[in-house]
Amino acid sequence: MGGSSHSNGEFGKRKLYPLKGRMKPVLHALIQLQEINLIRTEQKSHRKGAALEALDVSINRLAASLEESIQRLVTRLQSRDPVFIVPVAHSVCAGCGMRLPISLIQLVQRAQVLQNCPTCLRILYFPESQPNYVAKPARRSEPKKTGIARFSGESLMIPRMQATDRESAIRELAQRMQEEGLVDDAEKLTDLALQREVIVSTALDHGIAVPHVRGVEGGGLTLALGLSPKGIRFDDEGKALTRIVLFIVIPTAASAFYLKLIAGIAETFINADARKALMAADCAEKLWKTLQKLTRKTIP
């Protein structure tokens, strides 16, 4: 998988994968392949079979564009974890959080040969431009949070969004995160979320949408919630309007957990009474308390 001599175990005797000028396109293909595989898992968990065939075509096309040796490498890595390629963020591997040697970081930046993390063995890449978390970590003296409170709070609740379409809804929630000092680039977040929507809409059944951006490093998974009483056309092909929008930014290390979180959200709001209770909240305080109460059992 790379030029690192630190690897061990079953991956310890791998060949180097020199790609010279083709490295960046290969890395881009690997990142896309991982994202589409994760999206496929999302769709499967929502039982949205209609999108699976198209996603499978994209997955097969991307895989076929890779050299056979790299295809085999990806297959081995995916057998261990669906997240097989991760960025270097603040000098650490975004997958496992281990600090990386400066010499290895320099090799990742040069992008001449595939490099892997010495600890978790994932393929490493250097992100060109990505929003970051900017919030300071919680103090040790603060009480430990549980449930949805680990990812959100009253200040991230918008009971009556001004947005009238998908783009403005995502932007409004991203801007709220930036206003609260949690992320540093709401516009970039919006652009990335819209790029994700182009692949497959994140609109779920029952008027709920869960737009998200993966790979926002430097903090933890964060969720903002907005309500649209009139409804928003979130899915171009769908007929139902979206009234509940949950915007989530996800660090790489939480990509797998995100799938559990979204499953908990779907389980919560399959209940019509739960949706009605949420839509009845007329201020941020009530909306936050209602969300906490409704997700107490589904998001432990």
| 81 and 192, same domain (yes or no) | no
**pLDDT at site 22:** 64
**pLDDT at site 257:** 86
| 107 and 196, same domain (yes or no) | no
Tell me the pLDDT of the chain averaged across its residues.
86
Q: How does 66-82 read in b/e, with b if 16+ C-beta sit within 10 Å?
A: beeebeebbeebeeeee
* Confidence check: pLDDT of 130 > 60: yes
Q: Which two tokens stand for residue 157?
A: 């609740």
Q: Comparing C-alpha atoms, which of 216, 237, 227 is closest to residue 269?
A: 227
Question: Helix 23-45 and helix 68-78: axis angle, to 10°?
Answer: 40
* Confidence check: pLDDT of 3 > 80: no
Residue 95 domain boundaries? 9-125
| 90 and 190, same domain (yes or no) | no
Distance CA 251, CA 254 (A): 5
Q: For residue 50, count other CB atoms closer than 10 A to its CB.
A: 9
Q: Which two tokens stand for residue 155?
A: 């200040």
- Residue 97 sits in a domain of what CATH number? 1.10.287.1490
What pTM, to 2 d.p., does this model score?
0.80
174 and 190 Cβ atoms separated by less than 8 Å:
yes
pLDDT in tens, 143-197: 678 899 999 999 999 999 999 999 999 999 999 999 999 998 999 999 999 999 9
Q: Where does the chain have alpha helices with state H?
A: 23-45, 52-64, 68-78, 102-110, 166-179, 186-199, 255-269, 272-279, 284-294
* Confidence check: pLDDT of 254 > 60: yes
Distance CA 186, CA 188 (A): 5
Distance CA 86, CA 125 (A): 6
| 121 and 153, same domain (yes or no) | no
Split at pLDDT 50, 70, 90, the class of 2 is very low
Domains in the chain, number:
2
| 153 and 263, same domain (yes or no) | yes
| 154 and 267, same domain (yes or no) | yes
Among 125, 157, 184, the domain boundary falls at 125
Q: What is the mean pLDDT of residues 91-107?
A: 94
212-214 and 242-250 strand pairing: parallel
Split at pLDDT 50, 70, 90, the class of 205 is confident
| 113 and 50, same domain (yes or no) | yes
- Residue 196 sits in a domain of what CATH number? 3.40.930.10
| 109 and 231, same domain (yes or no) | no
Please report, rounded to a whole number, the percentage of residues in the chain having pLDDT higher than 70.
Answer: 87
Distance CA 300, CA 285 (A): 21
227 and 161 Cβ atoms separated by less than 8 Å:
yes
Distance CA 111, CA 188 (A): 24
pLDDT in tens, 53-64: 888 999 999 999
* Confidence check: pLDDT of 33 > 70: yes
**pLDDT at site 136:** 53
| 29 and 119, same domain (yes or no) | yes
